[in-house]
């Protein structure tokens, strides 16, 4: 085994051996792609949505009978006094049953009586709350 005659050489060699693995585990570089939405303030996005007619607007309540359920597209069709309306059901849609029970889209079947509180965005009617009767 080799003995170092100078403590300075031993310290320098120790630092070099210790620092080499640290240099290989450096923090990852920033992503090469940053989505444009991340660079635009939320207020500007809201203005863009308003200009394009994409801002959600409350459209009231639709009451009637479910005439069709499309589980693939997550939509229901409700026949009410104003005719048949196709309504999108989002994961955030609250589906309420009798009492305190909450449900999911598969619990809605053809023929069920419902009250649907809706909003409209970009030509699409969206269910906010569905109450099964």
DSSP 76-122: EEEEETTEEEEEEEEEEEEEE-STT-EE-GGG--TT-EEEEEEEEET
For position 57, what pLDDT does the model report? 82
Q: Tell whether 98 is covered by a domain.
A: yes
Q: Give yes or no for residue 72 having a pLDDT over 50.
A: yes
Q: What is the mean pLDDT of residues 88-108?
A: 90
For position 101, what pLDDT does the model report? 83
**Phi and psi for 24 in degrees, rounded to 5?**
-75, -20
**Phi and psi for 57 in degrees, rounded to 5?**
-125, 140
The verdict on 125 and 94 lying in the same domain is yes
Q: Tell whether 18 is covered by a domain.
A: yes
Bridge partners, 119 (sequence order): 58, 126
Q: Tell whether 1 is covered by a domain.
A: no
For position 41, what pLDDT does the model report? 47
Percent of the chain exceeding pLDDT 70 equals: 59
The verdict on 30 and 95 lying in the same domain is no
Q: Tell whether 123 is covered by a domain.
A: yes
Range of the domain at 120: 57-132
pLDDT digits (tens, 9 = 90+) for 22-62: 445 555 555 554 444 444 444 444 554 555 556 778 889 99
């Amino acid at each position: 085994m080799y003995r170092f005659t100078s403590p300075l050489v031993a310290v320098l060699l120790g630092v070099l051996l210790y620092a080499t693995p640290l240099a290989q585990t450096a923090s990852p570089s920033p992503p090469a792609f940053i989505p444009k939405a991340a660079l635009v303030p939320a207020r500007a996005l809201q203005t863009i949505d308003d200009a394009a007619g994409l801002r959600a607007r409350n459209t009231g309540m639709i009451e009637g009978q479910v005439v069709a359920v499309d589980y693939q597209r997550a939509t229901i069709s409700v026949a009410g006094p104003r005719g048949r309306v196709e309504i999108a059901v989002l994961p955030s849609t609250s589906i309420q049953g009798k009492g305190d029970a909450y449900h999911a889209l598969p619990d809605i079947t053809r023929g069920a009586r419902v009250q649907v509180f809706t909003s409209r965005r970009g030509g699409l009617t969206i269910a906010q709350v569905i109450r099964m009767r």
